Amino acid sequence: MKGEYQDLVDEISALLDAPATLENRDFRLIAFGAHDSDGDGGELVLDPVRTRSILTRQSTAAVRSWFEGFGIARATGPVRIPAAPDAGVLTGRICLPVRYRGVVQGYVWLLDQDPGPAPEALAAAMEAAQRIGVLLAEEARAGADLSREFLAVLTAARGWQADMAVAALRVALGPGADGLHAAVCVAPWVGEAPAQVPGAAAVCVVPGQDTADPGRLAVLVRLRTADALAPALTAVGRLLPRTAGTALAGGAGGAAGKGGTGAAAGTGAASGAGAADGKAAAGVTAGVTAGLSEPVRALSQLPAAWAQATAAARAASAQPRLGPVARWSGIGPYRMLATLAARPDDDPATGALLGPAHRELARTAEVFLDCAGQAGRAAAALGIHRQTLYYRLGRVEQLTGLDLDEGEDRLLLHMALKAARLHA
């Protein structure tokens, strides 16, 4: 296939009477045409950016930023770009976007000349660029694991970048792009993504926000129907240690059963975990949990699905009874708490209670509120006398200034205690 690229680049060079360079959409060199002398003194005149691209097989970040600023990723026809000496671009360019089904696959570059190529020559060159787009798309489908396209959809900024990322993933997924999908989050995840996950359409690692924030493994799973979450659960089961995968059969499998697929989902997950022969999958660390989103139809909804899966994984980590795998629809108040940006220990009322010095009081208050304020149930759950419960609740009111006979004060404290689990 490399020879086909070179033939097409040579064809464009001949059509426009200028040396052409082909790069993929990441600005990595694929092929380039021969550069003749300038025709006057016979000396060889090379643009430094083109020279560097040929020698190192890629362009610098400054050059890429300059070119992308002219909208080449969205353009459907030739784009003329002026010189930019500060970025090392000493000569203007003509960019021919290489597209396939509306998705940019790469770029053909030519040094701009005066006068420029005739319109009919440019039209013929664009036709050759379209043939390059077909080849690049076929190569991507044949050899890509889709991790780049999937990660781009999950992390792209809103607007045209997100639209382009979704379009690229749609092309890479092929005919199955318009079906139902679910997102799975496995966290924490250290290291590379597994080479493949049975039942998964795409897998990638989403890096953390900083060095203290571990990455998360993202899995895109195709679904046959909205209730058929068995493939997603199977994918999760193959990624977790045996103990977690076994628990999945009774835990998340049961939760999925509310949607009509409990038995199948539980069986799929257990068999997936069993395939690991009792060993944790590569990248899995202690305390790993997983979350499943609700099914989505449009690929543009994947970022929202990923947010659901991430929140469910956090909830499973915060509340052991939800884990080791939690489904977004089954995490109750954590669906709302996961969207809150503020840390609960910043609240002027609840912050004092959430410090390490008052863990026992915080646990007492949480159990009391979990029991709907029923003192007898709470005391039994804590294994303490009812008078001890009342004493501790009085201390909670003193620390926070809240009145636990007031509904809004109870709501604030309950939310703060649950949110503290997500931030732990």
User: What confidence tens digit (pLDDT) does each residue in 97-135 have?
Assistant: 999 888 888 999 998 877 888 999 999 999 999 999 998
**Structural domain of 169:** 147-337
For residue 298, the model assigns a pLDDT of: 92
**What are 152's two structure tokens?**
């781009």
How far apart CA 13 and CA 19 sit, in angstroms, is 5
Sign of CA dihedral 282, 285, 287, 289: negative
How many structural domains comprise the chain?
Answer: 3
- Residue for token digits 């410090």? 355
State the angle between helix axes of 359-370 and 375-382 in degrees (0 to 180), rounded to the nearest 10.
Answer: 130
> Could you give the maximum distance between any two Cα atoms of the chain, in Å?
101
User: What distance in Å separates the CA atoms of residue 202 and residue 349, rounded to the nearest whole number?
Assistant: 45
Instruction: Specify the pLDDT at position 37.
Output: 44
- Is residue 262 domain-shared with residue 203, that is, in the same domain? yes
Q: Name the domain boundary from 280, 311, 337.
A: 337
Residue 233 three-state SS: helix
- Distance between CA atoms of residues 193 and 98, nearest Å: 30
Looking at the structure, tell me whether residues 407 and 331 fall in a common domain.
no
CB 229 within 8 A of CB 256: yes
Question: Which amino acid is located at 47 in the chain?
Answer: D
106: three-class secondary structure by DSSP: strand
Looking at 143, 173, 204, which one is the last position of a domain?
143
Structure tokens at 387: 């008078």
pLDDT at residue 10, rounded to an integer:
93
pTM for the model? 0.55
Give 10-residue mean pLDDT values along the chain (424 residues): 83 91 87 59 50 60 81 92 76 90 89 85 94 85 74 90 90 84 91 76 86 84 74 71 41 38 30 33 63 92 94 89 87 81 71 89 94 94 95 94 91 87 74
In a 3-state reduction of DSSP, which class is residue 261? coil
Q: What is the structure's pLDDT at 422?
A: 76
Judge if 139 and 152 occupy the same domain. no
Alpha-carbon distance of 66 to 225, in angstroms, equals 45
Where does a domain end: 304, 337, 370?
A: 337
107 and 165 together in one domain: no
